[in-house]
Structures are given as C-alpha cells and as structure tokens.
Amino acid sequence: MSKTVLVVDDDPTQRRLIQAVLEREGFAVVHAENGDDALTKLAAGTKADVVLLDLVMPGISGQDTLQEMRARSFNQPVIVVTATGGIDTVVSAMQAGAVDFFVKPAAPERIIVSIRNALSMGALKGEVDRLKKHANGRTTFDDLIGGSPAMTMVKRLGERAAKSGIPVLITGESGVGKEVIARAVHGSSDRAGKPFVAVNCGAIPENLVESILFGHEKGSFTGASDKHLGKFQEANGGTLFLDEVGELPLDVQVKLLRALQESEIDPIGSKRSIKVDVRIVSATNRDLSQAVAEGRFREDLFYRLNVFPIEAPALRERKEDVPALVDAFIRRFNVEEGKSVVGAAPETMAFLAAHDWPGNVRQLENAVYRAIVLADAPYLAPHDFPAISGVAAPPPEAVVRPVATAVPQALPTAAELVAEMPKDAPVRILDERGHLRTLEDIERDLIQLAIGIYAGHMSEVARRLGIGRSTLYRKVKEQGLEDVVEQIAAQG
C-alpha cells in the first residue's frame, strides 16, 4: 500500500510539480490549497502519512496550520516548505513540531529524502508508543489493526466487556491474535496500567502448573527452596490471561474454579488462603464444549469462564485487513532491523490479500519479517515472499568487466563534433572553428530561447531552467535581454 503525502500549497503549479516528483517514486498525493482546506481534509479522515506544508499562504499561515494540527492531535510528520529560509522561521516551525524543512525550489532528490526520513521518524515514534502501551498495560481496541466487519464486531464486544469485570473467553484458531484482544480488554478497563500477566497453560509441565499459577511456600515440596508467589498474586489488582486454558489438568481446574468463585487461592504448603483481586480473561483454540462432553474439561468451570465469549476471526475471514496489517508489520520491522522499506508493491499486496494464511496473523507477520530482512528495494516484491508467491528472486545481473588488453577507443576530434552537431541547433555549444563557446554566451542564448518558448512567462521560464525568479531577472539584466522580454510581452 503506497504512502500518501498531503501537499498544502496555494500555488497550483507548485502542487503539480511536487505531485509529479512524488508519484514517480510511488507515493500517492492529496492536495490542499490552503491551511483551512488541509485541516478540513484531515478532520474528514483523509489518509495522509506525511504532510508537506508551505509556510506562506493566504488566510491561515502554515505556522498556524501546524499549531492547529497538533492542537487537534493530528500527529502526522510535517515537513515545512519556505521560500525565504530565515533561521527564525525554521526554528519556529521546528518548535511547533515540524520534522524537517526545505527551501523552494528544491531538488527532487531532496524532497524524496526528506519525506522518507519523515516516514521513518513517524514509524519509530509509532513503534515507541506501541511498546510503551504494551509495557504499561494500556493497549486499547483503537490499537487493534483492521476495519473489516469481523474485526469491528470484536472491537465492539471487547469494549463492552472491558467496562465490567465479567470473565471473557476468547476463542479462535492459533495465530489469530487472542492475546492482543486480551490486552485490549485489559487496557480499556479500569485496570489499565495495572499488571497484565499472561500464562500459556499448554506450555507448563503438568507437575508445575499448580505451583506456577497459585504459588508455593518454601519447603512445601522437593526443590521448593524459596517461596514463590504464583501468577495469581503477580496479577493482583490487574488481569490474568490464561491462554490455552483447555490444556489445564482436571485437578488444577478444581482450584481454578474456587479461585474464581471465592477470589482467593491456596498456595502449595500454605496454612491459609490468600485473597486476590484478579480479572480472568481466558483463551482457547479448542472446542471447550466438546472437551466437556468428553470429560476433559469441567462443565462448571466452562460456564464460569464462558460468561462473555468473543470469537477472534481467522485472517482468511477478514482479508480486507491484510494491507493494513502488512503496513503495520513493515513499520515495526523497519525500526527493529534498521531498514527503510516504503511498503509493498501493488502486485505484492494483491497476492498477499488473496492468500488464505492458514497460520493466520502470526504467519503473515513472520512472512513480512523475512521479506524485510532480505529486501533491497524500496517496495516489497513478490519474489520477497517465495514460499507464498512461488516467484524466485531474480539472479544478480552479471557484471561485465572490460578486458585489460582491449584497445581504447579514440576520442572524437573537435571537427568531428562540429560535423555531427545539427546546423539548426537553437543553442550552439561550439563555435565555427570547433572551440567551446564561453559559458556566458551559451547561457544568454539558452535564456533567450526559453523566454521565446514560454512566451515571456517568467515563472515558467525560471521553473524550466531550475532557478529562482529573482535569479532569472538578474541574469536577464546582466545579459542585456530586457528588450527581448519587452518585445515578447508586447506580442502576447
């Protein structure tokens, strides 16, 4: 999915020029003719990954636009564009939250580098914010990626469940992101910021499950050299997430049921029960009702856990979320691996969205991770996913080295160059004798030619020559071309 740049400039010609530069590099472009227009588009939800903002505009200035963006919590990276480059202007813009600036007219390479740097900085900030939320137990349903109907339903149910202390059972295939949903339930509740403790019940040796969950006293069994609190006490005041809860042994299920009913636990070897304040969120990829029928899971515990079920959809059931997930993984792994991949090429995104993903989001995440590590181009190509696309990476181009004994080709003489040049060339490089003309003479002819071609429109002449208007007028005066300009203007 290509990145979108919002270009805010009152000059339509400048907007079109920047659009041409950006689209050649694969960016999508959205225009805004002034600050008010930009704020309106952002408020309406217009996609903008980075904003290119002119400082001098009629109405609300670029500086005021930037301040209003930050006041409204529009946190897109902003690059300011100025025609003056005054240090006070730049400092004020950077203090207001701009990440970079450049002076008009700027080389296309400068614009592209600035935008890519801004995107990288935005990705880094986003990853830092994500990690902070994850560490502090403040992940919410707004952080869940996906707007498909299936994910919208998950978010709606999860937000309702989070407002109470009701036990939640999250079901779904392996790799769909059940723990992410559990963290969002915790972070959206009044327990946000308090401990979130995750336990994979299927990964604990059976003889240690009780100790790990409920704790033990020193000397309570062979090898218990120290007191251990257990996961329930670690999560006291917060949320305990029991992943793969269907794997718990039956004897531990009895103690878990009592902990849920009485809000107290009995550590191994303890002479008294301990009160705990823990919210339980559990998850499973198995059919617990079938396990109950087969006698492998207690019916009373099942009904206690299954008060508020939430089904996490498989990725094949929400393929429209694949592009957003791919973009999110690219941002994360760019930061982790120090890469600067812009995104996935359209044909790449097409086959990624069409794939069934039997391993769900976890498989997609690992596939993007591998592609990021191996990618050399700005956009991920199908051959970066060979196991999925079936397209092998192209072989490196053979480097053709000249033979050391090859006979060097003779350089053409000045006479040959003169003979090859068209006789009606509008700007001559060589004189009649084959010698280079002076730079001043060539420049004068070139400016005169440009003035004629563009009918005296000096802004267009300056743009085509790649110089500023003030520089153009100075050169016109130095070269004595004022009469030419006047004549062409009179003809127009």
Give the list of residues 6+ apart from residue 451 with CB closer than 8 angstroms, or none: 458, 461, 476, 481, 484, 485, 488
Helix, strand, coil shares, percent, the chain, to 5:
50, 10, 40
Section 304-321 average pLDDT: 96
Helices (H) and strands (E) in the chain, counts: 21, 14
**pLDDT score for 490:** 66
Q: What percent of the chain has pLDDT above 90?
A: 45
CATH classification of 4-133 is 3.40.50.2300, yes or no? Answer: yes
One of 1.10.8.60, 3.30.70.260, 1.10.10.1100, 3.20.20.70 is the CATH number of 318-389, namely 1.10.8.60
Q: What is the DSSP letter of 320?
A: G
pLDDT digits 0-9 by tens, 346-363:
889 999 999 999 999 999
| pLDDT attached to residue 109 | 85
**What local confidence, expressed as pLDDT, does residue 1 receive?**
57
Q: What was the pLDDT predicted at 134?
A: 84
What tokens appear for 407 in the block?
Answer: 């006979």
Average pLDDT value over all residues in the chain: 86
Q: Which fold has domain 141-313?
A: Rossmann fold (3.40.50)
